[in-house]
Amino acid sequence: MSALAEKLYTIRYKVDEQSHLVIKDQETCLHCRTKECQDFCPAEVYHWDEKDKMTNVAFENCIECGTCRIGCPAHNIEWVYPKGGHGITYKFG
């Protein structure tokens, strides 16, 4: 098991039914050449679907690091904290 996978294992999730991560405009993603969101997110939340020509968001994997708030070169990801009582809890602080 990799070091990152071991650390992700220590996180406790309480997933909301509604995403706290929103792609503002899928058309922007369509024209993005680099699809950087697939690379900068340590939890692999973002995935470009070549068939449907859109970015899929697996918000339930989000570790709330906030990288996507600044990582998208087009600022096309809206990130807010999950509503109260949802999100993650770190086992070791």
pLDDT tens readout for residues 1-59 = 677 777 777 777 777 788 899 999 999 999 999 999 999 998 899 999 999 999 999 99
Compute CA 84 distance to the chain's CA centroid, rounded to the nearest angstrom.
18
Total of domains in the chain: 1
In angstroms, the CA 49 to CA 65 distance is: 23
In angstroms, the CA 93 to CA 91 distance is: 6
pLDDT tens readout for residues 70-93 = 899 999 999 988 877 777 776 665
CATH number at 16 reads 3.30.70.20
Q: Which residues contact 39 (CB under 8 A, 6 or more apart)?
A: none
Instruction: Give the position of tokens 């809206």.
Output: 78
Q: What does the DSSP 8-state code read for residue 69?
A: H
Instruction: Determine the structural domain holding residue 70 and report its residue range.
Output: 3-90
